[in-house]
Amino acid sequence: MRVTKFVASPGFIPGLMADPKFQGAILAKGIDVRKGIKGNLPSGASGGRRVAAYARKAYAEKDGQGRDFRVVVGTRWRLGHLIEFGSVNNPAYSPLRKSVLAAGLRLSGGGR
């Protein structure tokens, strides 16, 4: 049996990341994730105003250029970590993580 060796083009990924159509498609996926956050928040949860603030301040934006291009999705609400990760007195609703996984994307830690 003959095996063919695959050799990736070294310029493929940088070229793809610099393509405006690719960047637009990835940004559209990020916007879908942002919209999905509201659907992954519990309705009638305790602290309903806080949950609404988390969704209202959600954003999706481009970050970086060329090979470093990425889409960042998050919330600008200063207490958003309590909704996402929970605490002693708050359950972890994880709306952002659930929305990313529902869109078929990969989570990447870090952030700003």
Q: Answer yes or no: is pLDDT of 112 > 60.
A: no
Domain positions in the chain are 12-102
Counting residues of the chain whose pLDDT is more than 70, the rounded percentage is 87
* pTM tops 0.75, yes or no: no
Confidence of residue 44 (pLDDT cuts 50, 70, 90): low
The 10 Å CB-count burial string (b at 16+, else e) for 72-93 is ebbbebeebebbbeeeeebeeb
The dihedral built from the CA positions of residue 33, 35, 40 and 45, taken in this order, carries a sign that is positive
Q: Answer yes or no: is pLDDT of 48 > 70.
A: no
Reduced to 3 states, what is the DSSP secondary structure of residue 62? strand
Are the CB atoms for 73 and 100 separated by under 8 Å? yes
